[in-house]
Amino acid sequence: MAETQKIGVPEYIGEIADSLAVVGAVWDIWIGIVTWLNEEINPPLPTRNPLMELLNAIHTKLNEIDDNVLASWATEREENVAFLQAHSTAALITANGFLHSGAARSDPEWAPKLALALRDSFVAVQTFTGGLESGFWLRPDSIKAISLEGDPTDFLKGWMQHIPDRAERHSFNRSWDYRWALPVALYSITARIVILRSAGEKNEIISQEIKRYINFIAMVTKKMESGVRSVGTLSDELLNRMANTIGVPIAVADIYGGYYLGGLSEPGSLKPFEPKAKKIPVPPFIQIPPLTFDAIRDDQVKFQEHWKNIVKERIGIGELFRFSGGLENILGLLEKQSTNLSTLRGKGIDFSVPEMDLSDWLNDPINTPYPAISEALLKLVGDKHLRKPVFLDVIVFKYEDTPGVESPRKLEDVNLAVLRTAVVDSYNERYGEGVSDFQGLLV
């Protein structure tokens, strides 16, 4: 558990080998990506790969299930890990090496490596997010597969004899299960975004992909939430019979992954027999005495509504919303960058360097003069625009190459007279003209 907390996985996710523990680790990587996009700091990809370590831990935990029916599932998981390492992980290593090399994306050594990383990461993410009701999202149907939290068929401490709902069966007697599929999909998505950014793909392309991943995660979340089922409201006949004899059925279960709370509860106190539910305090809005049949029925509904929220948190629904929020933030940053470029283009200011490089510089006011100079340029141009486009990167170079001028980091640091001269010189150099006045460039 200590290792899980070290990499930022929320406490309610549980032990390191639990299925959704990887979500927290993925979130740590997303924080690095957001920082990188906003401040041009390389994402802190560690030498050890905590995501792959967690996937292997999940795989090991699932291998503890002693069931011949699930043997093919174990083989499939091993193949998934090998595929990820050959595609997503290898591509991440390439991206990390490139980012720390300081080389240009067009470098003859790195350009083919980045192209290969783009291809491999695309193959991986398509494989693991291409369909929700097929492939590695399915496993052989087996009660033992959902028994890690306890025997679900136990009458006192299980749920199957009290909740009639079951995971739907697909062809070849297979059932939907997110516990392995979702962490693998999140891994491939994370790797893909890092590599797209590293390879210098246009913001519009990255944004389109991110929107697809947001929609995909929304479908997964909806499916997972739909699998959280409860006993429901007891009929008068069943309530009379069970409350007077063995206990009151109060249970909530995730029919896909197997996590559950409850089973039977003591008739006189509504304390559950199932250990996990016993540890959860009685909700403050529950009034146990007097236990009339109407009070029992009312409390049963309230218990189950409260436990549903706990089960959803426990299986990682909250983390998935958080992950999607991270994707939305990335999307917003990319669209902001695209808007900045569009504004500059509209004023006749373009560039001769790769668009991704310019986007990075425009969003790095600490280490580059581009934000300050572009803001000053827009102020100089005002409601007009340049009659022919001028390269922003050339303007910045000529500005900084002016003797006695310091590289600006704020608008007020920009010497407007020097900037006007830099624009005129850049224009004349590009078009072979002899314009001498900045105002003569404006229309």
Task: Count Cβ atoms below 10 Å from residue 242 Cβ, excluding itself.
Answer: 18
Summary mean pLDDT of the chain = 83
Burial (CB < 10 A; 0-12, 13-18, 19+), residue 155, is middle
Q: Classify residue 283 by its DSSP letter.
A: P
pLDDT category at 12 given cuts 50, 70, 90 is very low
Most confident of 34-38, 279-283, 412-416: 412-416
**pLDDT > 70? residue 10:** no
Distance CA 96, CA 104 (A): 14
Nearest Cα residue to 243 out of 205, 284, 283, 297 = 297
What confidence tens digit (pLDDT) does each residue in 106-162 have? Answer: 889 999 999 999 999 999 999 999 889 888 899 999 999 999 889 999 999 999 999
Range with the lowest mean pLDDT among 169-178, 313-322, 354-363? 354-363
CA distances from 384 to 47, 346, 392 (A): 51, 10, 17
């990587």: which residue's tokens?
29
What confidence tens digit (pLDDT) does each residue in 209-241 have? Answer: 999 999 999 999 999 999 999 998 877 777 777
Asked if 354 and 392 touch (Cβ cutoff 8 Å), the reply is: no
- Its pTM stands at 0.76
Residues with Cβ within 8 Å of residue 259, at least 6 apart in sequence? 149, 253, 311, 314, 315
What confidence tens digit (pLDDT) does each residue in 304-349 have? Answer: 999 999 999 888 888 788 888 888 888 887 887 777 888 888 999 9
CA angle 153, 267, 312 (to 5 degrees): 50
pLDDT at residue 337, as a whole number? 76
What confidence tens digit (pLDDT) does each residue in 265-286 have? Answer: 988 788 899 998 998 888 877 7
Asked if 270 and 297 touch (Cβ cutoff 8 Å), the reply is: no
